[in-house]
Amino acid sequence: MPPTPQPDFHTPTIVIGAGPHGLAVAALLRRSGVPAVILERSDRVGWSWAQRYDHLRLHTTPGTSKLPGLPVPRQAGPWVSRDDYVRYLEDYVAHHRLQVRVSTPVQRLERAEPASGARWLVRTPDGPVSTGAVVVATGRCRIPNLPQWPGRSTFTGTLLHSAHYRSPAPYRGQHVLVVGAGNSGTEIASVLAGAGAGRVRIAVRTPPNILPRSSARWHAVGRLTEALPLAWRDRTSLLTQRLAVPDLTSRGLPRPRTGLYTRNAREGVNPVLDHGFVDAVRSGRVEPVAAVQAFDGPEVLLADGTRLRPDTVIAATGYRPDLHDLVGSLGVLDEAGQPLAVGAQTHPAAPRLYFAGYTNPLTGVLRQAGIEARAITHALRRETAREPLLPAQVGDRTADAPQQGHTPS
């Protein structure tokens, strides 16, 4: 029997990426009368979340993790699991009746010919789509960033990025070196140590700012102190850490010298919310060591001259947005590959091209998804009032929420 043809959908706006930021933008655009089609490269909503490690839980509470127009279910608990959050994203699509065209990677974004009446040409494997506005929401964490350590290719053990780590089970009895002391690295290290790994070390370049994860008050403090001077906020944060977190200097992890607000402003780094990492270091189950310098066959060379022979190295070394192929020719990225304008702001050379999900605020990334979605919606509505958008046509493989796949168990 021949496949049932899918209907065409007409929309003035294309949203690239079906993660939290893309879904939030599309939902608020639809609510405001500006329909949008989401183009998603994978075969499901929330794909990047579904690929993270099994024991992942959000670092924000349900109240600050919800997207506009739908609360996170109460039964998900105070710290929402990976699978529960992916289910929430699927429910969000159904609730707002969003149109998501899955398995449709966007190859390139180009300026449309002036005579066409459109502003943008979205290149996909099924052909180009002309549209009046584009929201890029592929996110900060699109491509794993694995450093080019000298001698990396000679390492005879197992080397993987944390994006490819799933659970502690394969590492029982092993000597594991986790590289990077951010939220992912500290959580992976403490879980490995409690699940039977033979020895767990964590390579630290800069001592992290650590805060308890006992409540949502840390994000609330971030929101309440945004208007205060940076130096005052830093001093307060360092004092808070001294009062709330034991001194781990004797265990190889000195207290940070830089306040968490300065680190966030300079590097986009958030504090570590403790998932048991502090106790694991205090008890010796996780051993902090110097930063990784190079690899030499079976050995890992550290910055202090130490040589280790771990069975496995897990690099929790962050991600890159990888926007160059998509928009690199448009002059809208800085030298680091980050958008020059985000949220409601657009680059002067690229009107009606918006970027959502490329900041890492202390007040919470998921909360920021709603803030940016509202701002983009208001900006686009103002633009539309001045100059109507040209409809775009998007063909088959458009999926409404009931057709989305289920979260793996």
Which helix (H) or strand (E) segment holds residue 282: the answer is helix 277-282
pLDDT tier at 214 (50, 70, 90 boundaries)?
low
Helix 365-386 vs helix 20-31: crossing angle, to nearest 10: 40
pLDDT tens for each residue of 296-338? 999 999 999 999 999 999 999 999 999 999 999 999 999 999 9
Q: How confident is the model at residue 8 (pLDDT cuts 50, 70, 90)?
A: very low
Q: What percent of the chain has pLDDT over 90?
A: 73
Q: What is the mean pLDDT of residues 55-65?
A: 90
Contact 211, 274 (CB under 8 A): yes
**pLDDT for res 150:** 98
How far apart CA 269 and CA 260 sit, in angstroms, is: 8
Q: How far is CA 82 from CA 16, 24, 51, 385, 405, in A?
A: 22, 18, 9, 40, 15
What residue spans in the chain does CATH classification 3.50.50.60 cover? 9-142+321-403, 146-318
CATH of domain 146-318: 3.50.50.60
Residues 218-227 have a mean pLDDT of 62
- Mean pLDDT value across residues 59-81: 93
What pLDDT is recorded for position 394? 60
How far, in Å, CA of 179 to CA of 317, rounded? 7
pLDDT band at 368 (very low <50, low <70, confident <90, very high): very high
Collapse the DSSP code of 111 into the 3-class scheme (helix H, G, I; strand E, B; otherwise coil) and give the result. strand
> According to the CATH classification, is domain 9-142+321-403 in 3.50.50.60?
yes
Return the minimum-mean-pLDDT range out of 218-227, 358-367, 373-382: 218-227
Whether residue 406 has pLDDT greater than 60: no
Evaluate whether 352 touches 386 at the Cβ level (below 8 Å): no
